[in-house]
Every structure is written in C-alpha cells, then in structure tokens.
C-alpha cells in the first residue's frame, strides 16, 4: 500500500504485528491454563491439537510448499515464505477457538462479528506493513478458521444415540460417571462450530 507509513496507522499495524507474534502466544497459553484449572480436559485437548499442533503445522507446511516471496521492503521483521500469513491464520483460529470454548451461545453472534473485524484488521495490518500480499492474508485467515472448524467438528463426534460421551468398540460409555460432563463440553464445541 502506498502513502506515508506513520502515525495512527503505523501504531495500529505495529500493535497487531506484536499481537500476532510474541505477545499473541500468551493468549492461547493463558486459555490453556484456564481450561486446565477448570478441568475441561476435552477443551484443553482441542486447544492443544488445533492451536499448537495443527495451526503451526498447516501454516509452516504451506509456507515451505509454496515458497512465495514477500513484498519488497517489509516494515517489520519477517521470516521466509509469504503464503499463507501466519498472523492472519492465528487471528482467525483464535476467534474460532475462543468462540467455541468460552463464549455462551447467547453472545456468539456478537463474538463472530467482533472476531471478523479483528481478523480483517490483522489482514489489513500484514498487507499495510508490506509483510504479505493480500492473497496471503486471505489464505491465512481461511486456513486458521477452517482448521478450527474442521477440528471442532471432527473432535466432537460421538456414536449415534449416546448422549453421555465417547464409547469404546463394544459401545459402552468410556469414563464412567464423568462422561456426561465431558459430553457437555463436546456439545458446546459442536454447537459453536456449527454456528460458524
């Protein structure tokens, strides 16, 4: 993007760059600690699988596979590969994960709207800072949100007719009396992901 790169735009873009980088790593770590303290084991496993495992593997694999050069003269420090944007992927994934795990159903519409604004702001900042092409940020946001929705849907599957939690090969509920609690956790994730 042309024009001067200073003032309020510079401050906003730099803040979003920091949030998507080292400072942003504190958010999922804090969320993980909160889930573990609340003993929401399925939600903590979902977070670990999607955020720490899946998102990093998906984005970094695509960066190495595509190996697209970045725009000339980025205004922030960047690593190799432009496609897809890791910052945009992380922002979109964070919106999906927090919405699925913590936001009550009555407030999800406002959350999705605010989350979309946040993801779009992250996409704008990465393009404005010459760190990515616009298509990189679109692909990153799609990869992050898609990974969150896909894992949320696939990790919440249960056997038909069993409202109390996961079953073993014989069809018996696994986990004794605690299945209902875990089932509630999974039902919340399923409903949130389907609402997206």
Q: What percent of the chain lies above the pLDDT cut of 70?
A: 72
What is the model's pLDDT at position 54?
A: 66
DSSP per-residue codes, 6-43: -THHHHHHHHHHHHHTTGGGHHHHHHHHHHHHTT-HHH
- Entry field: residues in the chain: 196
Confidence class of residue 160 from pLDDT cuts 50, 70 and 90?
very low
Q: Return the higher-pLDDT residue of 190 and 125.
A: 125
Instruction: Please tell me the distance from the alpha carbon of residue 107 to that of residue 90, in angstroms, as a whole number.
Output: 22
């Amino acid at each position: 993007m042309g024009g001067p790169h200073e003032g309020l735009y510079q401050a906003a873009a730099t803040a979003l760059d920091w949030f998507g980088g080292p400072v942003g790593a504190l958010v999922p770590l804090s969320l993980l600690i909160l889930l573990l303290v609340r003993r929401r084991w399925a939600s903590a496993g979902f977070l670990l699988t999607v955020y720490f495992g899946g998102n990093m593997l998906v984005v970094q694999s695509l960066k190495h596979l595509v190996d697209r050069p970045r725009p000339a003269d980025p205004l922030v420090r960047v690593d190799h590969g432009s496609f897809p944007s890791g910052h945009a992927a992380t922002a979109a994934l964070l919106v999906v994960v927090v919405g699925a795990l913590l936001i009550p159903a009555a407030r999800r519409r406002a959350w999705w709207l605010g989350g979309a604004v946040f993801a779009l702001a992250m996409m704008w900042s990465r393009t404005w800072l010459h760190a990515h092409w616009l298509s990189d940020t679109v692909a990153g946001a799609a990869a992050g949100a898609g990974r969150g929705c896909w894992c949320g849907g696939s990790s919440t599957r249960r056997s038909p007719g069993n409202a109390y939690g996961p079953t073993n090969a014989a069809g018996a509920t696994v986990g004794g009396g605690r299945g209902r609690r875990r089932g509630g956790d999974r039902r919340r994730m399923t409903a949130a992901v389907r609402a997206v």
